[in-house]
Structure 1
């Protein structure tokens, strides 16, 4: 039996989720966020599946250049801009958009050698307090960029800090502050991340920037209804052993789970060496041959143990779904005290990736 730790990437699900975005924001264009290897799903396969998006967004040149080399002609936006003035000629050559968020980047553009101008997005900090110019500086930044020969088209961008909470008034205040900062200055705007796209129509602007929702996970922290999204990744392993354990038997390192009764316990072929979270506690849900089961004991490097009382007919070779179709990643993330983003991004290279339609 070959060891299996496999992530199946569902291209059709990516396209379906893009369609959900378009239905929620019919008046906006869509900038699909593909940073961090498309949230662990694979940069180029995801770009292929999402080729119907209007633009692509990544974090840096190391993510942008493979898109150009693979022939993608979309507008490509680098969400952290350039990291030194030396990168500006490559932005120009490869027709890459730079988000401008700091005074030093303005200085670099003003001192850049003449060449093909690059399109830029002014990032306004409306409350995230991570990157961006303060609202009161926005007009001055625009004037400097408009006077700069190295700059082509100018657009505007901000990032929503609390849109995942549909009851938090922060998002409405950020939208107001963004519009006040821009005033009557021209240029298309982008405010909405996944939560803004699906939950805050006031934030749609000209461009929405969906990330996590494209991969099928809900961006919201509340239980007010899961958006109609389809998981784009199914992570699976196989049972490699099933044992009958007795009441009082302790399972795994440190005996982190004690059998409350005589019961079946399975061993699955995946662990923290594959990126499954070591801190996932007893009771974290998994599916075994389609039946709900749960972790039992501490996750090991290459294996984890499963309480099979919910799947008493399970046998070696049965499929174990860690998340994906039938088990949303955010449910696993909630149990493990993390977020679906981290689950996706932490998968290691030894997890086999398969792309299917």
Structure 2
């Protein structure tokens, strides 16, 4: 019998979330972000599920784009970080990729190459995130140089990234948006701005393109959930089973370091899942799980291959009973990955992208 841990991927839910992103910005085109192996869901499978809906995909680097092309994905693909060395431009052109240009050296390399055909370019502006991009005062000159090179560049867009679009405080977002709007109006440039939280909550950021990422996978990126974000459907269910049940008296320590001590005579379930599978070792006692569709809690430190949960109040739970670490249980009960992330002092992105290859992905829907 195989180890029971599996990541169930609901591709119909993925399509639902993509359509929701499109409905939030009906006059904008939605780039489906598939970086980090589709946020841990499997980029190729997700691309195949979306290729009849999405006009373009986005990845972080050329290696991720090559994986999609080798799988037969012909949809345009944007390199969100552009190239990392000039020699990659040959592949960019051969694979028909689009690319971000965020620095002087990338711009110079692009314009210096012997072009067989122009490359669609998204010029990245640092409007206040302070990671990548041209400062607003330098972006205008960069834009004009690119626009003046039609043999090298086509379909020029202006892009940026928001630092606080997920927060209820709109002050810094408004400052970023003001810088971008002024620059775009001066250049008469089409914009690609909105990430997942801006797609859901900032209508003024929905330009010619928007870039839904984590929302495609059912995670709510907003500091305070909205009516729209509550319509997101979970795509991944991380599902396992109890592999042992222990009956312990009160006062017994459980797991490494004895962090959790039974407060009463207790039933402890051992789950086939641990940090060696990507479950966060920082999960505190009380982190929720679903056992036979009922809420239980982590009890003791997460081990490499196992974790222990308190099932004292779930008498029907036995060896072989379903355990859902996040996602939807067989009885329909939902445990959101965002809730689990809060108990681990992290965000859903780290949990989803952290599920390791040893955990099989099982796909259903979108047939």
When the two structures are superposed, what TM-score results if normalisation uses the length of structure 1?
Answer: 0.97
> Is the Cα–Cα contact under 8 Å of residues 80 and 100 in structure 1 kept in the other structure?
yes
Q: Is 1:328 aligned to 2:336, yes or no?
A: yes
What CA distance in whole angstroms lies between the structure 1 residues aligned with 2:313 and 2:174?
45
> Is the Cα–Cα contact under 8 Å of residues 34 and 47 in structure 2 kept in the other structure?
yes
Q: Is 1:53 aligned to 2:48, yes or no?
A: no
What CA distance in whole angstroms lies between the structure 2 residues aligned with 1:309 and 1:137?
63
What CA distance in whole angstroms lies between the structure 2 residues aligned with 1:106 and 1:283?
51
RMSD across aligned C-alpha pairs, in angstroms?
A: 1.3
What CA distance in whole angstroms lies between the structure 2 residues aligned with 1:349 and 1:105?
33
Partner of 2:345: 337
Q: Is 1:210 aligned to 2:224, yes or no?
A: no
**Structure 1 position 61, deviation (Å):** 0.9
**Structure 1 position 187, deviation (Å):** 3.6
**Structure 1 position 233, deviation (Å):** 0.3
SS in 2 for 1:227: helix
SS in 2 for 1:244: strand
Partner of 1:261: 264
**Structure 1 position 258, deviation (Å):** 0.5
> Is the Cα–Cα contact under 8 Å of residues 139 and 182 in structure 1 kept in the other structure?
no
Partner of 2:160: 158
**Structure 1 position 223, deviation (Å):** 4.8
When the two structures are superposed, what TM-score results if normalisation uses the length of structure 2?
Answer: 0.95
Q: Unaligned stretches of 5+ in structure 2?
A: 329-333
What CA distance in whole angstroms lies between the structure 1 residues aligned with 2:230 and 2:162?
19
Deviations, residues 302-325 of structure 1 (Å, cap 9, x unaligned): 100001134222000001000012
Deviations, residues 268-300 of structure 1 (Å, cap 9, x unaligned): 011011010111110000000100000000000
Query: For 1:167, which of 143, 166, 169 is the aligned residue?
Result: 169
> Is the Cα–Cα contact under 8 Å of residues 166 and 199 in structure 1 kept in the other structure?
no
Partner of 2:331: none
Query: For 1:282, which of 277, 282, 285 is the aligned residue?
Result: 285
Partner of 1:346: 354
Q: Is 1:309 aligned to 2:317, yes or no?
A: no
Using the TM superposition, name which of 265-274 and 20-29 deviates more. Answer: 20-29
Superposition pairs of residues 1-357 of structure 1, within 5 angstroms: 1-51=1-51, 52-148=53-149, 149-223=151-225, 226-325=229-328, 326-357=334-365
**Structure 1 position 168, deviation (Å):** 2.6
What CA distance in whole angstroms lies between the structure 2 residues aligned with 1:314 and 1:165?
40
What CA distance in whole angstroms lies between the structure 2 residues aligned with 1:206 and 1:146?
18
Q: Unaligned stretches of 5+ in structure 1?
A: none
Deviations, residues 100-159 of structure 1 (Å, cap 9, x unaligned): 000111111122123211110000111100000001111100111123332222111000
**Structure 1 position 224, deviation (Å):** 5.2
**Structure 1 position 2, deviation (Å):** 3.0
